Amino acid sequence: MRGCRLKLGRYLEVDQPKFADCRNLLRSGPASSLRVNIRAVAQYASDAGNGNSAFNEVDQCLRALEELDSLLLRASRNESGTSIESMKAKVATALGALNSVLQTVPEEVLNKGKAMANEYINPGDDLAPQDLDPDLKKLESIL
């Protein structure tokens, strides 16, 4: 999501932002995957007894992303009532909520998820897929 934020930030920083491109970025790749899988991440927190907090943060994150999507759509149609600042505020709200969700996830689950993400970003030959921990395989299928 951090990479998406950086790309989205660059799109919004130019003199004439291409709001449709920003919207496509929000609807594809990591941001799209986040929108689909964030509730599964909150389920790990719920299993550890932090469900209410996690699901509230999930709702806040998804609401901010939907509001950002709406702002981008309206801006692409040259409608009034949109501003770059309000878009950046929605990105910040979504990231803050995402960070809060991640803080409710048990550390061992979060560490496994980070290891998987790092392996995805920087593939190595350390482990063959069949050698992965069963819990890691489950997390991989969810993510």
Structure tokens belonging to residue 98: 């995402």
What is the sign, positive or negative, of the torsion defined by CA atoms of 115, 119, 122, 127? positive
**pLDDT tens-digit series, residues 66-91:** 999 999 999 999 888 888 899 989 98
Q: Is 132 helix (H, G, I), strand (E, B) or coil?
A: coil
What separation in angstroms does the CA of 88 have from each of 5, 14, 133? 9, 13, 39
Sorted by where each begins, the domain ranges of the chain are 2-105, 107-143
Q: How confident is the model at residue 139 (pLDDT cuts 50, 70, 90)?
A: low
Torsion sign, CA atoms 21, 32, 129, 112 = positive
Q: 3-state DSSP: the chain helix, strand, coil percent, rounded to 5?
A: 80, 0, 20
16-40 pLDDT, tens digit each: 678 888 888 888 877 888 888 888 8
pTM of the model: 0.71
Name the nearest CA neighbour of 17 among 65, 66, 86.
Answer: 86
Q: Is 107 left (phi over 0), alpha (psi -120 to 50) or beta?
A: alpha
List pLDDT tens digits, range 92-130.
999 999 999 989 888 888 888 888 878 877 776 555 555
Q: Determine phi and psi for 83, rounding to 5 degrees.
A: -145, 155
For residue 77, with 0-12 CB atoms within 10 Å meaning exposed, 13-18 middle and 19 or more buried, which class applies?
A: exposed
> Does 39 or 131 have the greater pLDDT score?
39
CB 31 within 8 Å of CB 88: no
